[in-house]
């Protein structure tokens, strides 16, 4: 078990020691206190983690959209159960919903004498009957031979979140399992159009579009890393969620699927392809203009062709490099095009400083700090 936990990227705990973990746990059940008083969360937490929670927890930094942008309805043919669908056109970076979990537990429960199902059932009793009923209506992919229904629902729908934990030996793992009544309905895709972001300060999760989602289309997320090979994705999905992926990417004809696999393999190995840093390229007039630009355009093209805008950090880094490159060249048209893309891959809802700065540069390109610098040096 130590080896499995140490190698699990979700847990990010390479030095985990099960014996020490078991000796140092002291759990408590409680209802998380919110300033608004309208949300409810039943939590099983290590006492040291509970003590680090603010009381009461402040409102989410970003509020849900004024209009409901999604509907929960039967998923497309070939999939089981319900899914989340866009009720209106949602732009890239658009906020879909902000919600708080109804149940939170440690990802690894250190109980030897109490079955997990009994603990989950006890947590449900701390919720309002209507909320508990909505929890029990969620999907369950686990067979009855493996666990009972309430535990199966928890394992099927639990989203990994990270909480603040003490910096002491054998402290609780930061990764916890949380169930959300809406976001947990999102089905998987190997080319997802949405991603969630967890804010431990406000105990809330925001679901955002990573590319435009037309009205009527299903809103999907990635249950496993979409950069894995198809064989590895399928194996992990089968093991954890007991289904064979039939998303649009995995259903491609053999030649196109083979091309997709090759592109994703190239993305896995991609590390700027020897691209110079922006500073080196900008100040070396002997270097060709496309020494920086061509490499980042190639990376963007691969990400977009595979529908992998969910790789937001990598995608944003390449878009930023292209906007900066064209800014240093003093190319207004190209600078605005790539700066808009860099802005749109970031959420525009709420207080997003990076998006506001980019919008300022788009409006007045000459305010970009190194506007035209490379062109000036070359001249």
Say what the pLDDT of residue 65 is: 86
Would strands 194-199 and 82-86 be described as parallel, antiparallel, or unpaired?
unpaired
Name which of 30, 64, 67, 34 is nearest 49 in CA terms: 30
Could you list the beta-strand ranges (E) of the chain. 27-31, 42-46, 70-74, 82-86, 95-99, 103-106, 159-162, 175-179, 187-188, 194-199, 204-209, 218-221
b/e string for 2-15 if b means 16 or more Cβ within 10 A?
Answer: eeebeebeebebee
pLDDT at 299: 93
Question: Residue 255: its pLDDT value, please?
Answer: 95
Which DSSP category does 73 fall into? E
Q: Tell me what pLDDT residue 19 has.
A: 84
Angle subtended by helix axes 332-344 and 353-363, to nearest 10: 160
Q: What is the pLDDT of residue 112?
A: 66
From first to last of the 379 residues of the chain, give the pLDDT tens digit.
Answer: 778 888 887 888 888 888 888 888 899 999 998 887 789 999 999 999 999 998 889 898 888 888 899 999 998 744 568 999 999 999 988 899 999 999 999 998 877 677 888 999 999 999 999 999 999 999 999 999 999 999 999 999 999 999 999 988 888 999 999 999 999 999 999 999 999 999 999 999 999 999 999 999 999 999 999 989 999 999 999 999 999 999 999 999 999 999 999 999 988 887 666 778 899 999 898 899 888 999 999 999 999 999 999 998 889 999 999 999 999 999 999 999 999 999 887 754 455 788 889 999 999 999 999 999 998 888 7
- Residue 222 contacts by C-beta under 8 Å, 6 or more apart in sequence? 188, 189, 190, 192, 195, 310
* Bridge partners, 28 (sequence order): 45
Q: What is the pLDDT of residue 78?
A: 44
Q: What is the β-pairing status of strands 204-209 and 95-99?
A: antiparallel
pLDDT given for residue 79 in this prediction: 59
Kindly state the tokens that stand for 246: 């039939």
pLDDT at site 349: 47
Which pTM was predicted?
Answer: 0.88
End-to-end CA distance of the chain: 63
Q: For residue 230, what pLDDT is reported?
A: 93
Residue 209 · residue 221 · CB < 8 Å = no
Q: The dihedral of CA 248, 254, 258, 261: what is its sign? A: positive
Length of the chain: 379
């Amino acid at each position: 078990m130590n080896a499995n936990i140490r190698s699990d990227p979700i847990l990010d705990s390479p030095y985990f020691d099960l014996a020490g973990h078991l000796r140092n746990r002291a759990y408590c059940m409680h209802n998380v206190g919110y300033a608004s008083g309208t949300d409810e969360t039943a939590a099983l937490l290590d006492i040291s983690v509970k003590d680090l929670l603010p009381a009461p927890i402040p409102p989410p930094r970003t509020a849900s959209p004024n209009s409901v942008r999604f509907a929960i309805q039967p998923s497309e043919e070939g999939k089981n159960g319900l899914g989340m669908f866009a009720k209106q056109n949602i732009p890239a970076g658009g906020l879909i919903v902000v919600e708080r979990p109804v149940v939170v537990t440690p990802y690894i429960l250190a109980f030897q004498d109490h079955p997990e199902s009994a603990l989950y059932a006890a947590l449900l009793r701390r919720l309002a009957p209507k909320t508990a009923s909505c929890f029990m209506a969620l999907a369950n992919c686990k067979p009855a031979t493996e666990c009972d229904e309430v535990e199966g629902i928890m394992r099927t729908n639990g989203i990994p979140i990270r909480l603040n934990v003490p910096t002491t030996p054998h402290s609780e793992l930061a990764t916890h399992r949380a169930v959300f009544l809406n976001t947990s309905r999102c089905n998987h895709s190997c080319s997802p159009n949405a991603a969630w972001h967890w804010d431990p300060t406000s105990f809330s999760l925001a679901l955002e579009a990573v590319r435009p989602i037309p009205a009527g289309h299903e809103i999907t997320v990635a249950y496993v890393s979409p950069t894995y090979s198809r064989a590895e994705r399928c194996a992990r999905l089968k093991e954890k969620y007991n289904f064979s992926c039939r998303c649009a990417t995995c259903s491609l004809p053999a030649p196109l699927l083979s091309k997709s696999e090759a592109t994703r393999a190239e993305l896995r190995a991609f590390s700027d392809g020897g691209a110079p840093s922006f500073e080196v390229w900008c100040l070396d007039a002997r270097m060709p203009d496309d020494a920086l630009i061509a490499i980042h355009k190639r990376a963007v093209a691969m990400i977009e062709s595979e529908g992998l805008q969910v790789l937001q950090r990598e995608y944003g880094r390449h878009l930023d490099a292209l906007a900066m490159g064209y800014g240093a060249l003093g190319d207004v048209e190209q600078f605005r095009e790539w700066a808009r893309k860099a802005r749109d891959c970031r959420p525009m809802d709420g207080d997003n400083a990076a998006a506001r700065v980019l919008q300022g540069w788009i409006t007045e390109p000459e305010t970009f700090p190194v506007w035209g610098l490379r062109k000036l040096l070359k001249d």
